[in-house]
Structure 1
Amino acid sequence: MIEFNKVSYSYDKNRGNAVDELSLFIEQNEWIALIGHNGSGKSTVAKLMNGLLLPTEGNVSVSGLPLSEDTYWDIRKKVGMVFQNPENQFVGTTVMDDVAFGLENLGFPREEMVKRVASALKEVDMYAFKDQAPNRLSGGQKQRVAIAGILAIMPEVIIFDEASTMLDPNGKKELLETIKGLRKIKKMTIVYITHDLSEAAYADRIIVMNEGKQWMSGKPREVFQYRDELSEIGLEIPLISSIYSGMNKHGVKLEKEPLHMKELVDQLWKLSSKM
């Protein structure tokens, strides 16, 4: 779905490359967590994925379409982006108007717009709020409206660029549950950019960025085995992973490393039933 071939990008030639000869791939329908400390290049990668930036060197392609000055509008129809602050994406006076905005810009007929707006709001469980002002919603609800605005355009990829940063714990949980729900009903590629490894644990695969390069790639359990190395590049290990490591050191062996609290509790119940 997305491929980078030796891609470099520099905001300032005197300060080196923000992304440096990066090669990576993302499969269709895959949920990728793109993680790294601040300044690792992950947000630059996101902007290169949907044509907000064009590479200084190398090639980017989306669904087989090479990114260039002639194709970036076509790329943006394939790749939608949800940012940190959903309010920066709001332009309508009601939730329905806001979700319709992108479709209006693309010249969709009104009948088609009405159908798509209703469908997108239902998919994120926000149809009941269609006539409310966006600024009266909670943080998690605002992010769901922002997602609906992208869904209405029917992209093949949605990028979440640090989309949980401004949310409280309930809002973060809502966002992750919304993404999991979307994957059940739609075939869609998800790129979830974060520095929070506990959120990255929900992805199919994690790509770790460091100094503009791909430092590591693998399934969450594979990546979390490198606790010390991840800490050295400025990433905080999830609490669940730290608990698992501590239990191992004290001789308490689980079937596998838990990624979420429920997995930990389930395995502890099984362990206690054998004692």
Structure 2
Amino acid sequence: MQQTVVDRIEPVAEDAVSLVLRGTTGPLAPWEPGAHIDLALPNWLTRQYSLCGDPADRDAYRVAVRHERLSRGGSEYVHRFLRRGRALDVSLPRNHFPLVPAPAYLFLAGGIGITAVLPMLRAAVASGVPASLVYVGQTAATMPFADELRAAYGERVRLVATREQGRPDLAALAAGLEPGALVYCCGPAPMLAAAEAAFPAGRLHAERFQPVARTFPPAAAFEAECARSGGTVQVPADETLLDALAHAGHPLPSGCREGVCGSCELTVLDGEPEHRDDIGAPEGRMYPCVSRALGPRLVLDL
């Protein structure tokens, strides 16, 4: 974890604030567009937020938080109780949504999804690659960083206030894509579903706030051998591998517990995981908050 202090809290839209977290023990870890951090809040909750500042600024991180009406305690704490000067621990940045080199980009953002996309647009424009942003929200007042984007990028940015203009025509956007252009989309589930229907799968990169509802076979019990410690953990059918490891004295960092954030990533030395995450675990890795074993045994680097 890295030690930071809340340097600024600023409103950036209706029900959304920007946090600037300044490092207290030297430069913060580097990051690239698409990365996020775990923020350990003083109410014992850990939440994930996309970095939306400048990667060249190693002194501070910027994130933005929308106050969710059905908050489970994270956004409510940030909006109601967090104050300037508060010390906060943050994780090293992780990036499951990297910006892949391309001859052109179309960026699509919905609401607070702009936080992941904003640094990508900045990087694409700085590299001289053609890039545009379609940014969707209910009204202009609910869209974080709208003024900042218009001032910096002018006609490259199209703001779509759905209460007045309706939803953007993604099929038309797909038809007008430049050859080889990639599409990056971050926003609520209906937007992602519409983007997946409109754009070719090989050209669309998307990041989700929540996992897609999917059906898996009934969970089966298995055992997890911890190679470095020498113990074996029994994982019942009704318990996650993450919880079973914690109960056996092997607690792991965990944030979302939904297979979205990647904070609990484990290395698998032997056996075949049953991947139930929404990230796409790399070869030899798994996320034990949701994923299990396809066979009776896994060997873990623990």
Pick the structure with more helix per residue: 1
Structure with the greater relative contact order (CA < 8 A, sep ≥ 6): 1 or 2? Answer: 1
TM-score scaled to structure 1, two decimals? 0.31
Pick the structure with more strand per residue: 2
TM-score scaled to structure 2, two decimals? 0.29
